[in-house]
Amino acid sequence: MPEGDTVYQAARRLDAALAGSTVTRFELRVPQAATADLRGEVVHGVASRGKHLLHRIGTWTLHSHLKMEGEWHVYRRGERWRAPGFRARAVIGATAPDGTEWETVGFDLADIKVVPTADEDDLVGYLGPDPLSDSWDPAEAARRLHADTRAVHVAVQDQRSIAGFGNEYANEILFVRGILPTTPADHVDAAALVDLGARMIRANRDRVDRTFTGDARRGLTTWVYGREGRPCRRCGTLIRRSALGADPSRERIVFWCPNCQR
């Protein structure tokens, strides 16, 4: 599942190709935005905000969310797409100042909207501080997290508190901090948890393969995530698995070590 670091990397690739370019093709294959046409406009840049992607084009912002399976691809004009066309939800063609012709394609995207850039906060203003943003505010993130009385595994994924952490990060952060996932968020050291999570996601934003252990080899990248029934890398106790969520429709898989997390 795409998390904040994945979305940040996607924004960086898109920005490298599109920033300063003039839009020559603008096709949104979703009913609510199908009539939008930004051809002739200049792409000012592409940025991430938590798990949201923002293309700033002319005086407009194209907003998209990767959800579970979404992805953006960058191609030179005429290159064969690496995914079937029926999955494409957005296609942006652009010509760079040096004449290079780009084509970026968003597959399996969600929440596609085009709004005036001045109204961008209507879509993402509710998000909490983003550890990958220049405006990262750890104190505010800790304050929001500490105000939440739900299980910390649920609270740390609430994008209103911290933008960017998903289920994999929640599991790994709580293991390293030695916190049982069901512990109420207002019972933990929120500042220390936020600091660790920020350092983790910042370390991963420039990596090809995400790792929490420092080892990028296959099967060695996580402490507990995806390791149900296997020995804990610290103490040897078998990792357990259950589910938690804000409600039954939003449950996420939880992995933990019953000895290291109490």
Cα distance between residue 50 and residue 144, in whole Å: 16
Q: What is the C-alpha separation between 103 and 17, in angstroms, rounded?
A: 9
The residue whose two tokens read 């209103």 is 160
**Which position among 13, 49, 51, 69 bears the catalytic label?**
51
**129 is annotated as an active-site residue:** no
Residue whose token pair is 């990596």: 207
The DSSP 8-state label assigned to residue 166 in this structure reads -
- 2, 129, 131, 181: the catalytic one is 2
Residue 40 to residues 43, 45, 62, 178, 191, Cα–Cα distance (Å) = 10, 15, 15, 54, 46
Q: Of 3, 120, 168, 172, which is the active-site residue?
A: 3
Q: For 132-249, where are the alpha helices, taking DSSP H only?
A: 138-146, 152-155, 167-177, 190-204
In this structure, the strands spanning 252-256 and 60-65 are: unpaired
Q: How far apart, in whole angstroms, are the C-alpha atoms of residue 238 and residue 77?
A: 51
Does 113 qualify as catalytic in the annotation? Answer: no
Active site residue 2: yes
Whether 252 is catalytic is yes
Query: Is residue 37 within 8 Å of residue 26, measured between CB atoms?
Result: yes
Residue from 140, 177, 252, 262 carrying the catalytic annotation: 252
CB count within 10 Å of CB 240 equals 16
Parallel, antiparallel, or unpaired: how do β-strands 71-76 and 101-107 relate?
Answer: antiparallel
Active site members: 2-3, 51, 252
